[in-house]
Amino acid sequence: MFDDEYASQREIEKELFKEFDNVSERGFSLLKFTFAIAGFYSIILVNMYNKFDINLILNSSPYPPYSVYSIKLCFFLLFLAFYSSFMTLRLVRYRFIENGRLVCYRCGYELEKNNFRVALNIRKHGFFNMLSCFCILFSFQFFLTYFLGKSFFILVLGGSFASALNFIGAWLDIYGIELEGRGVQELQSNKGRN
């Protein structure tokens, strides 16, 4: 019985590590894409103003208050996309343990606990990748708003607010927190047993 459970946990571990590597590659690709988008924005602004001067960009905006807000939000969201993509690179997977002077595979309860931790990290990766895509998309829309004016700015701002509410719901779902509080109580009771 114990050997069957151990073998199944090993298979689960292999599948989790494959999925972890795939999600990590997506996060790294989003990080590279964020740098490409920043380069694209810089090239457009340099070609428009003949130099990359922040004061010049903010002071000579086509639609004064809205263009200033939109370009600031654009670069803030681009920074947030970079940061959330970078956060996925910080999540690690643990396969081995140190036992005195030896390094060995996990087994038994340690293996099951590690599989749970890797599965939770995969969910975090997915959330950070989703957040990064959201930030890149709305960064591009706010960049367009710099050139298009007030009505498009209000439309994009409303859409980003609605999407932010959806992402808060996704965050609560990823961590298993229910709004009524039952999920939090179950998490606390499980921690007390461990």
For residue 126, the tally of other CB atoms under 10 A from its CB is 17
Is the model more confident about 171 or about 17?
A: 17
Average pLDDT of the residues in 79-98: 74
Mean residue pLDDT of the chain comes to 77
Q: Could you tell me what percent of the chain has a pLDDT over 90?
A: 9
Q: Report the candidate in 44, 71, 52 with the shortest Cα–Cα distance to residue 139.
A: 71
Domains in the chain: boundaries:
1-192
Is the model more confident about 85 or about 94?
A: 85
Give the model's pLDDT for residue 187: 43
pTM here is 0.71
Q: How confident is the model at residue 188 (pLDDT cuts 50, 70, 90)?
A: very low
Structure tokens at 90: 């910080």
Report pLDDT digits (tens) over 50-80: 887 888 887 877 777 888 888 888 999 999 9
Q: 26-40, 59-73, 92-106: which has the highest mean pLDDT? A: 26-40
How buried is residue 79: exposed, middle or buried, by Cβ count under 10 Å (0-12/13-18/19+)? middle
Report pLDDT digits (tens) over 139-161: 988 888 888 877 777 888 888 78
Name the percent of the chain in helix, strand, coil, to the closest 5.
80, 5, 15
Q: Answer whether 94's CB lies under 8 Å from 114's CB.
A: yes
